[in-house]
Each structure stands twice: as structure tokens, then as C-alpha cells.
DNA sequence: CCCTCTTTGACCTTCGCTGACCATATCACT
DNA sequence: AGTGATATGGTCAGCGAAGGTCAAAGAGGG
């Protein structure tokens, strides 16, 4: 990780791994000092890396004795039910690319789908704006092609 | 190689040869500086020389700490070859549902994808004619939803 | 001369990082 | 209890540093 945000993310993940209940509590100011950066950098990391879509929960408190509490949510129980719920929450929604990708990422993290399967899914959802109108006509081929491309990435 | 693109291609290939795992990570700007050319020249080289068809894989990231990651696939491995061929065979084609499904079936039979993965793929390709124009807008959510449904049937 | 491949530069998008300014909790003193 | 000081954390706009895209100009070979 050559950039700060990456280092901080790694650091926090390490802490979470080391924690018995996948939950840690720390201070923004301290963390910022540790990495010699402005405190708001911590917020940047939290809001880009430790989102709900990725399966994290962040609580905080201001003022004297303030803190950040970061928890990694456990998806392993009642997988089917949770999948169903997720599916409900997705149905008909107009997902942003970012959210969709994070979601797949989370599925993989939770081991609900394999890495390959996650990649397949991302291949399908991460198409960019296609201006052409006839896109749908050739869509099948394009999507298949993309999915195979994903498998190639696997080697 | 008297032209720039050729030199850059050679340079990158040398780096790949020297790399133990046939993968390198570099910066577009740096490389461009090294060859005293505009950065976009690098993109030209990558998009004409290091394509999937030629057995290369290029990933990248923007912003501070951005990079280009170039990998050479091991073309001797049967699976990669098969995948490449199969992918080639449907380039630009306008597949019927039947053909597309058969195709996935072959992938599974050839053990190139697991049964689960095959199901994922079928879920994506087997949508019926959608005449609506706004389909693309909700497409992401719908597709994700369908793929999760498949996984549910699996569990 | 024409066609294809190269090269370039203008303009765009994404990501990381910072600092000014805001909100809220605790504490100390009256 | 009230109130101001102190100590946290939160938000947001903006800058700078990558890489991406595209169209037009240039170069070379038939």
C-alpha cells in the first residue's frame, strides 16, 4: 500500500482481525497522529473502506472521551435468510456502480460466493454507460464475453 | 523497432520476462517520462500490444498512488487457451438464447466453470426480450437480484 | 495518392489528502 | 445548576496527482 488511505485501512483491518469479536474502539485523533495526517483523513478511510455495503459498521461519539467504534458484521449465520433479505433490498433499485460493487465484495468477504463467482457478478454489473440503443440486441454476447474475460483474469 | 510504440512494448516485455511471476506494476507517468513521450502513448501501446487476445492482462487505478499492472497469462495452460478460443468464437455475435445456453453448458462440461458459475451465467443471459428503453437503468439491480436468486437455489 | 499505424494534446474522471469550519460531549469553576 | 473552556469527532469544498478517452495530425509503406 503506497498511499496513506491504504495503510490506514490495512492497519484497521489488522486490528479487527486481532480482535476476538471483530470490533475495535479507537480515537480519531490518536490514529491520525499515528499516521501523521489530518484527522479528517480517517473519515475518508472510514467512508470509503468501511461502509455498510462492505459489511462494516462504524459508530462514533464526539466530545471529551470521544471514540470511533468499528465492527465487522458477521454474515455467516442464516445465509439463506440474509441473502433473501438482500435480494429484497435490491429488487427494483437503481444501484450505483460503487454500491453494487461493494455489495458483491461483501458477499465474497462473507464467503457466500467464491472469488470467481464474485468476479463474474462484477463483470455483469459493472458495465459503463452504453449510449447505443441497440445494445440490448447484442447484450447477451457482450455479457458472456465479459464473464469469460473474468475467468481469464483468474488464470 | 524504430518506432516508439515498439520500444515501449519491448521494454515492458523485458520487465515481464525479468519478473518471477510475469507481472509488473508501474506508473504511466514514469514510463512516459522514461521514453520522453506523452502519457497517452502508453495507453496506445497497452491497447494495441498488451491485449487479452495476445495473452496479457492490464489493470489500473487512478488518483494519487495510481498504477498500471500488467500480467502475462500462461498461454500453455490448456484452460486459458480453451477460454480464449471460446471467447473468440462468440466475439461480436448476436447469440440466441438457445445458443447462449448451449455455450454455457459446454463451458460446464469442459469443467471450465463450476456448476454454480454456469448457473450464474445462465441467469445473466437468459433474460427475455425487454423492449423497454429504461431497462438499462434498472439493469444492474435486476441482474444482481437474479444472480443471488440462483445462489439461493443452490444453497 | 491512399490506407494504416503512430504520435500528440486537449479535455475528462477518479482518488487521495488537506484545512477551514461545524457539532457535541465532558469538565472545571462559580 | 449554569456556563464557558476544552476536547473530540463530522462535513465539505477544493486542490493536486494519477490514469482514460478521443479526435486530429503525422509518418510510412504500397
pLDDT digits (tens, 9 = 90+) for A60-116: 999 988 999 999 987 654 555 555 555 555 554 556 667 777 777 877 877 777 888
State the Rg of chain B over Cα: 20
Q: Which three cell numbers stand for residue A15?
A: 486490528
CB contact under 8 A, B64 and A3: yes
For residue B133, what pLDDT is reported?
40
Residues B124-139, mean pLDDT to the nearest whole number? 52
Is the confidence at residue B72, as pLDDT, over 80? yes
Q: Would the CB atoms of B141 and A6 count as touching at under 8 Å?
A: no
A48 vs B: CB within 8 A: no
pLDDT, one tens digit per residue, over A13-66 is 999 999 999 999 999 999 999 999 999 999 999 999 999 878 899 999 999 889
Q: B residues 12-41 near A, CB within 8 Å?
A: none
Instruction: Report the gap between the CA of B108 and the closest CA in chain A (Å).
Output: 12
**Residue A4 CA distance to nucleotide C23 C1' (Å):** 27
- Count CB atoms within 10 A of the CB of residue B154: 12
Q: What share of chain B is helix, strand, coil (3-state, %, to 5)?
A: 55, 10, 30
At residue A13's C-alpha, the angle toward residues A10 and A19, to 5°, is: 145
Is residue B113 within 8 A of residue A152, CB to CB? The reply is no
Of B136 and A35, the one with more pLDDT? A35
**Reported confidence tier of residue A149, pLDDT bands at 50, 70, 90:** low
Instruction: Find the Å distance, CA of residue B63 to C1' of nucleotide D16.
Output: 9
Q: Is B143 on the interface with A (CB under 8 A)?
A: yes
CA distance B119 to B60: 30
Domains in chain A: ranges and CATH: 4-72 (3.30.56.130), 79-154 (no CATH)
**Residue–nucleotide distance: B36 CA to D19 C1' (Å):** 17
More confident residue, A144 or B72: B72
Amino acid at each position: 500500500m503506497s498511499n496513506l488511505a491504504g495503510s490506514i485501512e490495512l492497519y484497521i483491518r489488522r486490528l479487527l482481525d486481532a480482535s476476538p469479536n471483530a470490533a475495535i474502539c479507537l480515537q480519531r485523533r490518536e490514529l491520525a497522529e499515528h499516521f501523521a495526517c489530518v484527522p479528517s483523513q480517517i473519515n475518508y478511510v472510514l467512508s470509503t473502506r468501511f461502509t455498510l455495503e462492505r459489511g462494516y459498521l462504524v459508530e462514533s461519539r464526539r466530545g471529551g472521551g470521544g471514540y470511533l467504534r468499528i465492527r465487522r458484521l458477521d454474515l455467516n449465520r442464516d445465509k439463506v435468510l440474509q441473502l433473501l433479505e438482500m435480494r429484497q433490498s435490491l429488487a427494483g433499485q437503481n444501484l450505483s456502480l460503487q454500491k453494487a460493487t461493494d455489495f458483491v465484495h461483501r458477499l465474497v468477504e462473507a464467503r457466500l460466493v467464491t472469488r470467481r463467482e464474485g468476479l463474474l457478478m462484477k463483470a455483469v454489473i459493472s458495465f459503463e454507460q452504453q449510449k447505443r440503443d441497440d445494445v440490448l440486441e447484442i447484450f447477451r454476447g457482450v455479457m458472456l464475453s465479459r464473464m469469460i474475460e473474468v475467468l481469464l483474469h483468474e488464470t
